Amino acid sequence: MIQLFLQKFKESTLSILAIALFLTGVGLITLKSISTGHEGNYFQQSFYKQLFFLLPALIVFLIAFFIPRHTIHRYIYGLYGFMILLILIPFLGEEIASTYRWIRIGLPFGFQPSEFAKWIVVIALARYLSDHNLEMNYFSVSIAPIIIVLIPASIVLNQPDLGTAIIILVPVLPMLYWIGARPFHLFLMVAPLVSILTAFHWLSFAIWAAIMVYVIFKAKPNLVFSISTFFGNLFLGLLSPVLWGLLKEYQKKRILTLFNPEIDPLGAAYQIIQSKTAVGAGGLFGKGWGQGTQTHLKFLPVQESDFIISVVGEEFGFIAILILITLFSLFILRTMRLAYNVDDRFSSLVLVGLGTIFTAHVFVNFAMTVGMIPVKGLPLPFVSYGGSFLLSSYIMVALIMNLSIDPKDY
């Protein structure tokens, strides 16, 4: 069995694992800098907690890498159901930071099941799409895949955890496109969201209405469907003030300060302002390890997770950020190429979904750091502190390496 494992390991894409390990090392070096000067025991410092989680992360990596493809395919629906139960359990426990995301297990840290929901939903969706050989010429065949992702995303959204809910939803579009869904049908899925977002300004809403007319005209659906699609989205856009009223106050402030940080520089905009200051202060080559003033004087909030890239920028400079962007790009492009080359449809879909998850995490984290989008609370894969996310990330790496190998050989 050991010989079989070693043979399988040699035939896998080791560059994926190498990049993940390098990024983890960068994260640990940065977390050690953040933890410097902190008082308290080891389990109160993000560096030591992350280092503690690295060993189980590598163990679950080996387990996930060695599980046969047919076993993953066979038991994923059962795992999906178990995952739904797990993300419901936090609602029965105590409220932590005004959310219900963690399960306490009597240790100095908690367990966040929604992190594992990301890749479990992708695999369940991949099995459904690969098993049914769907004829993607009709929009109705997309309903079941949408339901598969909506159930866990809705539960996570109510924890509340908007960032993770978005990550769960995002892979469905590229996965449907991968198996041949019509671009018009994908347009129909995103149109309601765009209608809501553009309705806050008359010019953007008018441009969006013109785009809808053009797309519907080019797609040439039947008349009733065309009219209902167009006016349905217009009506949804007009409901934007009502939907805005449903947002929590902190969510409204995050959106407003994205466009005008000066309206609340010490409140909702504080994180973005301090993040930009840290990145700018680092210059091209940074101030040096442990020398970041924004970091060590505690001006930069959530520096060990959501804004860890700001610490990297301040202490190691823009060059370090550019290197990280390059490595993440290579990681994601390699994953997508593997998805293209693998012969098995199920495996190909899983790789597309996992690649999309990593892409979304990296884009949102970097964009959030420089103020391009509102703060969403999404960590940077392998680099940010977070035990559950580290375990989940290495499971996804193992799945990418595992399912990219020809299943006929093992």
Single-letter amino acid code for the residue at 247: L
**The pLDDT of residue 4:** 61
Contact (CB, 8 A) for 318 and 283: yes
The rounded Cα 385 to chain-centroid distance in angstroms is: 15
What residues have CB less than 8 Å from 112, skipping those under 6 apart?
Answer: 101, 102, 103, 386, 388, 389
Residue carrying structure tokens 């996930």: 64
**The pLDDT of residue 97:** 61
**The pLDDT of residue 141:** 72
Number of neighbouring beta carbons within 10 Å of residue 260: 9
Distances in Å between the Cα of 285 and the Cα atoms of 192, 304, 312, 318 are 44, 21, 10, 6
Residue spans per domain, the chain: 11-404
Q: Minimal CA–CA distance to 306: which of 250, 361, 343?
A: 361
Distance from C-alpha of 254 to C-alpha of 269, rounded to nearest angstrom: 7
Q: Structure tokens of 348?
A: 């190909």
Q: Minimal CA–CA distance to 15: which of 327, 340, 381?
A: 327
**The pLDDT of residue 148:** 93
Q: Which residues pair with 99 in a beta bridge?
A: 96
**The pLDDT of residue 372:** 74
Number of neighbouring beta carbons within 10 Å of residue 64: 19
Distances in Å between the Cα of 381 and the Cα atoms of 27, 62, 115, 192 are 9, 18, 12, 30
**The pLDDT of residue 9:** 63
**The pLDDT of residue 394:** 97
**The pLDDT of residue 134:** 63
Classify residue 45 as exposed, middle or buried by CB count within 10 Å of its CB (0-12, 13-18, 19+): buried
Mode of pairing for the β-strands spanning 103-104 and 110-111: antiparallel
Q: What is the helix (H) or strand (E) element at residue 277, kind and residue range? A: helix 270-282
**One pLDDT digit (tens) per residue for the chain, 410 residues:** 566 666 666 666 788 999 999 999 999 999 988 877 665 565 668 888 888 899 999 999 999 998 999 999 999 999 999 999 998 887 776 666 666 677 776 666 677 888 999 999 999 999 999 887 666 666 667 788 889 999 999 999 888 788 889 899 999 999 998 988 888 888 888 888 888 878 777 788 889 899 999 998 888 888 888 888 888 888 888 887 777 776 677 666 666 655 555 555 555 567 777 777 778 877 888 888 878 777 766 767 777 888 888 889 888 989 999 999 999 999 999 999 999 999 889 999 999 999 999 999 999 998 888 777 777 778 999 999 988 999 999 999 999 999 988 665 55
Residue carrying structure tokens 């993607």: 136
Number of neighbouring beta carbons within 10 Å of residue 329: 12
Distance from C-alpha of 145 to C-alpha of 149, rounded to nearest angstrom: 7
Q: Is the previous residue joined to 160 through a cis bond, with omega within 30 degrees of 0? A: yes
**The pLDDT of residue 406:** 65
Q: Which residues pair with 111 in a beta bridge?
A: 103
